[in-house]
Chain A
Amino acid sequence: MNELLEKLLEAVESGKADQKSPFPPQLKGQDGALELTISALEAGVSPQEILESALIPAMDKVGKKFTENKIFVPQMLMSARAMGAAMTQLKPFFTSGEIKTKGTFIIGTVKGDLHDIGKNLVAMMVEGSGWSVIDLGVDVSAEKYIQAIRENPGAVVAMSALLTTTMANMGNMINEIKAASPETKIFIGGAPVNNSFCQKIGADFYSPDPQGIVEYLNKQAS
């Protein structure tokens, strides 16, 4: 494999966003995901290959380590930042259609809830696995979801809640979304959510960690 891609994979996995970034200490002063992506593009590596051979495998490793409790939120968000830095260079190729995404993923934090770190983690893991992600933000109403689904037919929907009190809003929202768009698959997640709650409110999938969602999505896409 291309040496640049190997380095990019390592930079994203270890959370090195750019050359200036102080983390991780062992890569201090070296090029980060941003510089390595620019170099790879300049060296003629195709954007699709950068995504598939570096970013996707890096985020896959990060997701697995998180699931296995080997890393925690800060490391994961460092990796997210590094991937985000690489993505700034790849965005034009998504827009032009040169990079093919696996599908569209609409995500938000449920109405009444402002907590978004978990939601952001999922968003970046899904993006890092080759999906186009639309993040609706926090305190998102059913109408907002329905609007976004209309604009992106066939998209998969995900909602997150951190509080037991706001988790209770998920059921009604799912009913409204399913009434407007019966075919839409809806994923739920968040600290108080579990599989039996998922089944009770008629959601399609629950995962306790981002990696579970990524694996499920990719199975659907293939």
Chain B
Amino acid sequence: MKKHRILLQPLGKSLIVNDQTPLIDVLHEYGIEFPCGGKGTCGKCKVKLLEGEIGLTAVHQQKLTALCLSDEWRLACHSRCTSDITLEVEQCNHIILADESSFDFVPQTGFGVAVDVGTTTLVAQLIDLSSGKVIAVETRINPQGKYGADLISRIQSCINGYASEMTYMIRQAIGSMIEQMLRLHKVEIKRISLVGNSAMQLIFSNADVTPLAAYPFDSANSGQKEFSVSELNWKFKVKEKIIFFPSIGSFVGSDILAGIVATNLHNKENYCALIDLGTNGEIVVGNQHRIVCASTAAGPAFEGTNISIGMRAVTGAISSVYFRDNLLKYNTIGNVKPKGICGSALIDAIACFRESDLIGVFGEINSGENQIALTTGLGLTQTDINEFQLAKAAIAAGFEILCKSLSIEVKDIQELYIAGGFGNYINIRHLIQTGMIDLPEERIHKMGNTALTGAKIFLFADNQISNEILSKTTHINLERDAEFQNIYVEKMLF
């Protein structure tokens, strides 16, 4: 059988497929979503044909016209591979790169690597420093995952004697991601900037995480750290330096520092907020004068942990839930039989349940049954709904307490930025309906991976920006607030 080569940009992935292979089969392997289920109505799976040919059927042409797409575009759900092709996958630009937002930089010669060391996901980008453009991207699941999904279990594993193994693992994984990018693009790296939460930074640095294990949850050793390739055991050259940026305080790390830089929150006149719905659930509130931040450990529920049918946003995950004609409908990534539900759809489902009075003000299932079915064999249990309540209340209460600490109210926030891996998929209206964020829809903006954008900005900047932000930012211990319990419990309600 005839074979063809597909090059996926900006992933930089090259693969060989059989003639007539549907692109939908190829792309869902990379976590690309097909929200309308491959009907060709939503346009979300559009790809730009950079090289080669994809023949257009009459139906395909019709769909493209309906979506107002020019002739360089194709819908992956309606395409088959019939020649060697190079595709730019639109969704990847949003999910992984998230560098739609332009940033100011002074062009320089050479190349840099920006790395977001996430608790769950690692992302690295190779950047041309003369143009600020992304040349290659690598993403990987953090291999430390086998030592627990959340930070406390990771820290526990370090204490239990796996610290050096975890340090070795993370250095090795990031090194091999960079090597992989260098294999495709033979360039010399000038510098590498890494960002991540405090635990990720300490583990990467082979430093003691024990101070993060108990109150006051603060390490004195979370400042900026510089490394050489030899001590990291990396096989490529770096001309200048490898820097892991400093943590802000407690669990709030340089990924949030980078998020502040990426959203420019530290230069805003009005009060703005940044919420990262990742594993560590960080919240930042502030303006050009003063910034406060906290972490809430609310994230695991959004990443699928603690939810009976929870899973990450990969093939087989229900990615959105909605009502149509009074019936509960859903979309599944990859248009396959659903296996579970990811964070964005969990928010959708809860909002729909509440709107239709399937659950009450306390989160109780009104039918008296122990679960609400989404489809045959898949449903959310009472415990799942309660887990969601704990997570959304942690975010909402944290947000309120941070505002209170600045003597403002939540409604004074003019712009709220949602960061984090699955942030882009969230239905903002549903998010508001769950009571997680009580702000008008138009003030809430999805920002993609702000940690990565910030890490990229750091490639061009000296330490001045990070020092400036650190000097005006205070970490707040939410549990220490006398009102925490009352606010937290109130926010559990719908």
A165: B residues at CB distance < 8 A? 152, 155-156, 159, 213-214
State whether B215 touches A72 (Cβ < 8 A): no
Count how many chain A residues have C-beta atoms less than 8 Å from C-beta atoms of the other chain. Answer: 25
For residues 440 through 494 of chain B, which have their beta carbon under 8 Å from a beta carbon of chain A? 477, 479-480, 485, 488-489, 492-493
B363: A residues at CB distance < 8 A? 72, 74
State whether B362 touches A75 (Cβ < 8 A): yes
Q: Is residue B370 contacting chain A, with contact meaning CB distance below 8 A?
A: yes
State whether B479 touches A138 (Cβ < 8 A): yes
Q: How far is the CA of A138 from the CA of B389 in the complex (A)?
A: 23
* A to B CB contacts below 8 Å, 13 in the list: A69-B383, A72-B363, A73-B390, A74-B362, A111-B215, A114-B477, A117-B489, A163-B213, A164-B152, A164-B153, A165-B156, A165-B214, A166-B214
Q: Which residue of chain B has its CB nearest to the CB of A120? A: B485
A-B complex: 9 closest residue pairs judged by Cβ atoms:
A112-B214, A165-B213, A114-B479, A74-B492, A164-B156, A77-B489, A72-B386, A112-B215, A166-B214
State how many angstroms separate the Cβ of A5 from the closest Cβ of chain B.
25
Q: Which residue of chain B has its CB nearest to the CB of A165? A: B213
Q: Is residue A102 contacting chain B, with contact meaning CB distance below 8 A?
A: no
State how many angstroms separate the Cβ of B156 from the closest Cβ of chain A.
5
Given contacts A72-B389, A75-B362, A138-B479, contact A111 B489 (CB under 8 A): no
Q: Which residue of chain A has its CB nearest to the CB of B393? A: A74
State how many angstroms separate the Cβ of A203 from the closest Cβ of chain B.
19
Q: How far is the CA of A139 from the CA of B217 in the complex (A)?
A: 12
Contact with A along B244-275 (1 / 0, CB 8 A): 00000000000000000000000000000000
Q: Which residue of chain A has its CB nearest to the CB of B363? A: A72
State whether A113 touches B215 (Cβ < 8 A): yes
State whether B382 touches A69 (Cβ < 8 A): yes
State whether B485 touches A113 (Cβ < 8 A): no
Q: Is residue A169 contacting chain B, with contact meaning CB distance below 8 A?
A: yes
B355: A residues at CB distance < 8 A? none
Q: How far is the CA of A48 from the CA of B370 in the complex (A)?
A: 38
Taking A74-B363, A163-B152, A164-B156 as known contacts, 15 extra A-B pairs with beta carbons closer than 8 A to each other, sorted by chain A number, are: A25-B361, A69-B383, A71-B362, A72-B386, A73-B492, A74-B362, A74-B389, A77-B485, A112-B213, A112-B214, A113-B214, A116-B479, A116-B485, A164-B152, A169-B214
Q: Is residue A115 contacting chain B, with contact meaning CB distance below 8 A?
A: yes
Tally of contacts, chain A with chain B, CB under 8 A: 67
State how many angstroms separate the Cβ of B148 from the closest Cβ of chain A.
9
State whether A73 touches B152 (Cβ < 8 A): no
Q: How far is the CA of A73 from the CA of B488 in the complex (A)?
A: 11
Q: Is residue B364 contacting chain A, with contact meaning CB distance below 8 A?
A: yes
Q: How far is the CA of A20 from the CA of B370 in the complex (A)?
A: 33
State whether A166 touches B488 (Cβ < 8 A): no
Q: Which residue of chain B has its CB nearest to the CB of A77? A: B489
Q: How far is the CA of A74 from the CA of B159 in the complex (A)?
A: 34
Q: How far is the CA of A112 from the CA of B479 in the complex (A)?
A: 12
Q: How far is the CA of A111 from the CA of B213 in the complex (A)?
A: 11
Given contacts A69-B383, A72-B389, A120-B485, contact A166 B479 (CB under 8 A): no
State whether B488 touches A117 (Cβ < 8 A): yes
For residues 5 through 63 of chain B, which have their beta carbon under 8 Å from a beta carbon of chain A? none
Given contacts A111-B214, A166-B213, contact A74 B480 (CB under 8 A): no
Q: How far is the CA of A89 from the CA of B485 in the complex (A)?
A: 23
State whether B362 touches A139 (Cβ < 8 A): no
State how many angstroms separate the Cβ of A189 from the closest Cβ of chain B.
17
Q: How far is the CA of A15 from the CA of B119 in the complex (A)?
A: 39
State whether B215 touches A69 (Cβ < 8 A): no
Given contacts A114-B480, A116-B479, A164-B153, contact A74 B493 (CB under 8 A): yes
Contact with B along A129-169 (1 / 0, CB 8 A): 00000000011000000000000000000000001111011
For residues 347 through 385 of chain B, which have their beta carbon under 8 Å from a beta carbon of chain A? 361-364, 370, 382-383
State how many angstroms separate the Cβ of A115 from the closest Cβ of chain B.
6
For residues 207 through 224 of chain B, which have their beta carbon under 8 Å from a beta carbon of chain A? 213-215
State whether B362 touches A117 (Cβ < 8 A): no
State how many angstroms separate the Cβ of A119 from the closest Cβ of chain B.
10
Q: Which residue of chain B has its CB nearest to the CB of A70? A: B364
Q: How far is the CA of A169 from the CA of B214 in the complex (A)?
A: 10
Of A25, A73, A138, A163, which contacts B489 at CB under 8 A?
Answer: A73
State how many angstroms separate the Cβ of B30 from the closest Cβ of chain A.
34
B370: A residues at CB distance < 8 A? 69
A74: B residues at CB distance < 8 A? 362-363, 389, 489, 492-493
Q: How far is the CA of A102 from the CA of B152 in the complex (A)?
A: 38
State whether A117 touches B485 (Cβ < 8 A): yes
A70: B residues at CB distance < 8 A? 364
A75: B residues at CB distance < 8 A? 362, 364
Q: Which residue of chain A has its CB nearest to the CB of B156? A: A164
State how many angstroms separate the Cβ of B341 from the closest Cβ of chain A.
20
B480: A residues at CB distance < 8 A? 114
Q: How far is the CA of A163 from the CA of B251 in the complex (A)?
A: 14
Q: Which residue of chain B has its CB nearest to the CB of A114? A: B479
State how many angstroms separate the Cβ of B385 from the closest Cβ of chain A.
8
State whether B213 touches A114 (Cβ < 8 A): no
Q: How far is the CA of A165 from the CA of B485 in the complex (A)?
A: 22
Q: Which residue of chain B has its CB nearest to the CB of A169? A: B214
For residues 155 through 192 of chain B, which have their beta carbon under 8 Å from a beta carbon of chain A? 155-156, 159
Q: How far is the CA of A163 from the CA of B210 in the complex (A)?
A: 13
Q: How far is the CA of A169 from the CA of B389 in the complex (A)?
A: 29
A169: B residues at CB distance < 8 A? 214
Q: How far is the CA of A72 from the CA of B364 in the complex (A)?
A: 8
State whether B479 touches A115 (Cβ < 8 A): yes
Q: How far is the CA of A120 from the CA of B213 in the complex (A)?
A: 22
State how many angstroms separate the Cβ of B108 from the closest Cβ of chain A.
43
Contact with B along A57-77 (1 / 0, CB 8 A): 000000000000111111101
Q: How far is the CA of A117 from the CA of B478 in the complex (A)?
A: 13
Q: How far is the CA of A116 from the CA of B489 in the complex (A)?
A: 12
State how many angstroms separate the Cβ of B230 from the closest Cβ of chain A.
33
B479: A residues at CB distance < 8 A? 114-116, 138
Q: How far is the CA of A163 from the CA of B151 in the complex (A)?
A: 10
For residues 53 through 111 of chain A, which have their beta carbon under 8 Å from a beta carbon of chain B? 69-75, 77, 111
State how many angstroms separate the Cβ of A125 from the closest Cβ of chain B.
15
Q: Which residue of chain A has its CB nearest to the CB of B381? A: A69
State how many angstroms separate the Cβ of A191 from the closest Cβ of chain B.
11
